[in-house]
Amino acid sequence: MRPLPLLPLQLVLGGFLARILKRNPGLLDRLGDHRRARFGIRPVDLPFAFIVEAAPPRLSAVRELPPGLDAYVSASLANLLALVEGRVDGDALMFSRALTIEGDIEAVLALRNAIDDAQLDLAAELALLLGPLGEPARRSFELVRDSLAGSPQKAR
């Protein structure tokens, strides 16, 4: 199987991130001194990972996370999406070993608390981003998200 081209994914998700940060200024406030941290996010069930920065908003899709980032977060895609939407509790995922973090733990906590307060609805954000294509995109996203795992809490 040919690996997925990452550039288009990076462009779409980068735009998505910038939009989310613009619509939720409180996120940056809660990130505080950690707003410039570089986070490596690795969905353990996907063949690629992301490097995410909040200020300025930047997202790169990579096959392997490089060393030297401020913090590394890995979990299944279902759990990562659920965390971003506040549908699971980060500490509970840590306790059940469904989430691992390394590097600057303070930066990860700030990010998690900022995201949890923002009450993000990724499907709705996607719909807004894509304008006329928004509604079908929202429905497709919800379908994919819900098919990933019935119970993200237990997904590893």
Partner 1 sequence: MELICPAGTPAALRSAIDAGADAVYCGFNDETNARNFPGLNFSRDELRKGIAFAHSRGARILVAINTFPRASSVALWQRAVDDAVDAGADALIVADIGLMDYVARRHPGQRLHVSVQAAAADPDAIAFYVETFGARRVVLPRVLSVSEIAQITREVSCETEVFVFGGLCVMAEGRCSLSSYATGKSPNMQGVCSPASHVAYEETAQGTTSRLGGFTINRFAPQEAAGYPTLCKGRFSTEHGDGYIFEDPVSLDATTLLAGLRTAGVAALKIEGRQRGRAYIESVVRHFRRALDTMEDGSEADVGSLKPFTEGQASTVGAYRKTWR
Its sign, for the CA torsion 128, 131, 135, 137, is negative
100 binds partner 1 (CB under 8 A): yes
154 binds partner 1 (CB under 8 A): yes
Neighbours of 147 (CB within 10 A): 9
Strand order across the beta sheet in which 58-62 lies: 58-62, 49-53, 38-43, 71-75, 99-103
Q: Which of 4, 119, 135, 146 binds partner 1 (CB under 8 A)?
A: 119
**Angle CA(88)–CA(79)–CA(97) in degrees, nearest 5?**
85
* Cβ 115 to partner 1 shortest distance, Å: 9
Partnered with residue 71 across adjacent β-strands are: 39, 103
66 binds partner 1 (CB under 8 A): no
92 binds partner 1 (CB under 8 A): yes
Q: Which of 103, 36, 110, 53 is nearest to 74 (CA)?
A: 103
* Cβ 34 to partner 1 shortest distance, Å: 7
* Cβ 131 to partner 1 shortest distance, Å: 27
88 binds partner 1 (CB under 8 A): yes
118 binds partner 1 (CB under 8 A): yes
Residues making contact with partner 1 (CB under 8 A): 30-32, 34, 83, 86-92, 94-97, 100-102, 105-114, 116-119, 153-154
